[in-house]
Structure 1
């Protein structure tokens, strides 16, 4: 499975924890620079998009949401804490 993470300047141990859950390919965009989101597209092989809600502005959130809807990719919104991310992934039955 592949995952795109939007938001948060530094992932820290989140990248390792997500890899332990079975995500082989992880793409990360910090969400700070608006220029990165002018022509925003989700990579074709992405299964899920994880949006860190504490480090992203509303305009970027709307672009990510519309791009995901266009591609038919599931979006998961969570705060930048491993417990919040794990809880959201668990609800989607991604990790068991």
Structure 2
């Protein structure tokens, strides 16, 4: 299971995650002020957190990175492109 932050729609990225044996546990678009505050997200079943850097700011990224580190799950920051997501998933051993 993956927590995805950023982007309004995931498109083909959801299919890529399925191919890697991951499903989307939670998708946070990052548009709402609550999401931008980086409120604590339940990660009890998450295997990875993916944040799209072209859709959120530095503070949002910092807050979610801290959460992932605190809960000891991999944090992937990448652009919202299939190739970038695939490359990062491979780097962390999900492909």
Same fold, TM-score > 0.5, yes or no = yes
Name the count of aligned residue pairs.
Answer: 94
Let me know the Cα RMSD of the aligned residues: 1.4
Listed one character per residue, the Cα deviations across residues 66-96 of structure 1 (whole Å, up to 9, x for unaligned) are 111111111011100000100111111210x
Give structure 1 stretches of 5+ with no counterpart: none
CA positional deviation for 1:42: 3.5
Give structure 2 stretches of 5+ with no counterpart: none
**C-alpha separation between the residues in 1 aligned to 2:25 and 2:79?**
18
Runs of 4 or more consecutive aligned structure 1 residues displaced over 4 Å after TM superposition: none
CA positional deviation for 1:43: 2.4
Alignment of 1:64-75 (within 5 A): 64-75=64-75
Does 2:19 align with 1:20? yes
Q: TM-score, normalised by structure 2?
A: 0.88
